[in-house]
């Protein structure tokens, strides 16, 4: 597979075209951002962790019948993916109150969300990724009603698949961000599943093992990412 020109560079990844118009190479960076890129930094080794963790989880989800963009791992930082037209909606399944959900509701962080809920955010850096409703999705023509129903159902299904898998590794899946895209008239799960996009707490101590350590200046950021990597990838999951 021949890597060609850069198509897009985001906060955490670079996407390159290939000699196959239906495939791209996703390169994972160590750059870290938070609060809509107002806070910037570097988490050493993050790209390797995120690439390999995403590959493990995409493979697990594919075996369970979830269509994903993942086609294979090319190197420690590179993933071969199906080229998608990304739906501009960030989809957040939530199992436990944390982050913006605590701020918006006044509920204490750590309160269980039963049953889990799915929140939608407009994928727009200039607007700060605002929360939106189903009606806004239709108004902005981000997805058809049928696509939105599928996306929300699939998000809950992915959540139901990942929670027990991560729990067996001693990790609580608090909440996480999903992105979907279109290819050939079908929808696929895209982007990544990593400590960048998931809130993960240690099941025994409730220690945060995700990007919140960077957001909140908690320290030991690299160690937290490596611990997640050890449990999910290094342990032969």
Q: Mark whether 40 and 102 lie in a shared domain.
A: no
Long-range own/partner contacts, residues 73-79 (CB < 8 A, 24 or more apart): 74/1, 74/25, 76/47, 76/48, 76/51, 76/52, 77/27, 77/28, 77/29, 77/47, 77/48, 77/51, 78/25, 78/26, 78/27, 78/28, 78/51, 79/25, 79/26, 79/28, 79/51, 79/54, 79/55
pLDDT for residue 234: 78
pLDDT for residue 236: 42
Q: Mark whether 203 and 94 lie in a shared domain.
A: yes
Q: 190: which 2 tokens? A: 């895209």
Beta-carbon neighbour count of residue 115 at 10 Å?
7
Q: Mark whether 66 and 117 lie in a shared domain.
A: no
Residue 72: domain span: 3-82
pLDDT for residue 41: 75
Q: What is the pLDDT of residues 67-83, one digit of tens each?
A: 999 999 999 999 999 99
pLDDT for residue 138: 97
Give the DSSP per-residue string, 161-204. HHHHHHHHTTEEEEEE-B-EEEETTEEEE-S--STTTEEEEETT
- Specify if 26 maps to a domain: yes
- Specify if 123 maps to a domain: yes
Last residue of a domain, one of 55, 82, 109: 82
Averaged pLDDT, groups of 10, the chain, 237 residues long: 89 94 96 66 85 96 98 97 98 97 97 98 94 98 98 98 97 98 97 94 96 88 92 69
Domain total of the chain = 2
Q: Mark whether 116 and 201 lie in a shared domain.
A: yes
pLDDT for residue 37: 56
Q: Mark whether 14 and 69 lie in a shared domain.
A: yes
Q: Mark whether 55 and 103 lie in a shared domain.
A: no
Q: What is the pLDDT of residues 194-210, one digit of tens each?
A: 999 999 999 999 999 99
Q: Mark whether 114 and 61 lie in a shared domain.
A: no
Q: Enter the pTM of the model.
A: 0.92
């Amino acid at each position: 597979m021949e890597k060609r020109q850069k198509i897009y560079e985001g906060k955490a990844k670079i996407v390159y075209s290939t000699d196959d118009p239906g495939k791209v190479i996703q390169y994972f960076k160590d750059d870290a951002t938070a609060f809509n890129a107002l806070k910037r930094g570097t988490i050493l080794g993050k790209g390797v962790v995120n690439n390999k963790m995403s590959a493990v989880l995409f493979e697990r989800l594919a075996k369970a019948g979830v269509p994903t963009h993942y086609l294979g791992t090319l190197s420690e930082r590179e993933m071969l993916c199906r080229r998608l037209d990304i739906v501009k909606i960030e989809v957040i399944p939530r199992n436990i109150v944390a982050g913006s959900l605590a701020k918006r509701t006044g509920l204490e962080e750590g309160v269980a969300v039963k049953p889990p809920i799915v929140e939608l955010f407009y994928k727009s850096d200039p607007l700060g990724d605002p929360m939106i409703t189903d009606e806004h999705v239709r108004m902005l023509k981000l997805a058809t009603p049928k696509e939105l129903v599928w996306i929300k159902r699939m998000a809950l299904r992915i959540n139901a698949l990942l929670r027990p898998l991560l729990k067996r590794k001693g990790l609580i899946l608090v909440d996480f961000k999903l992105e979907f895209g279109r290819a050939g008239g079908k929808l696929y799960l895209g982007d990544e599943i990593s400590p960048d996009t998931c809130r993960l707490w240690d099941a025994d101590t409730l220690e945060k093992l995700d990007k919140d350590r960077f957001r909140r200046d908690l320290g030991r950021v690299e160690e937290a990412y490596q611990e997640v990597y050890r449990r999910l990838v290094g342990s032969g999951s």
